[in-house]
Amino acid sequence: MSLWSRLLGGRDDADTGGNTTVEPVLHNGFRITPDPIREGSVHRIAAHIAKDIDGVSRSHHLIRADTMADRDEAMSASIAKARQMIDEQGDALFR
């Protein structure tokens, strides 16, 4: 990754553990794609939540303050937090 990319917030394969394509998890009609953000030696909980409503694709980017040392744990926690938000807010998540 180039110096300019790092300075401008770019991400490389190490940020995603080398896995750039993650299959979304379905929950109550929503698509959850976990996307933990690597920050040094930890991974911040983050995910994309999407749903098609009346033929329009809506999305929300979830970012939490919580961090975890292990990327796989951060992936699981990202899915769990997204499910919690969906259960609490439903379609209001996109307002």
Structure tokens at 61: 């980017």
Q: Identify the pLDDT of residue 10.
A: 53
Q: Identify the pLDDT of residue 49.
A: 98
Q: What residues does 43 pair with on adjacent strands?
A: 38, 68
Q: Identify the pLDDT of residue 4.
A: 52
Q: Identify the pLDDT of residue 21.
A: 81
Q: Identify the pLDDT of residue 20.
A: 61
For the chain (95 residues), the mean pLDDT of every run of 10, in chain order, is: 51 50 94 96 97 96 96 96 98 93
> Can you tell me whether residue 5 is helix, strand or coil?
helix
Q: Please state, in angstroms and as integers, the Cα–Cα distance from residue 34 to each residue in 7, 48, 94, following that order.
A: 24, 6, 18
Phi then psi dihedrals of residue 58, to 5 deg: -110, 150
Q: Identify the pLDDT of residue 47.
A: 97
**CATH class of the 23-94 domain in this structure:** alpha beta
Burial of 55 (0-12, 13-18, 19+ CB in 10 A): exposed
- Nearest Cα to Cα of residue 36 among 90, 88, 81: 81
Helix (H) or strand (E) holding 64: strand 56-68
- Which amino acid, one-letter code, is at 87? D
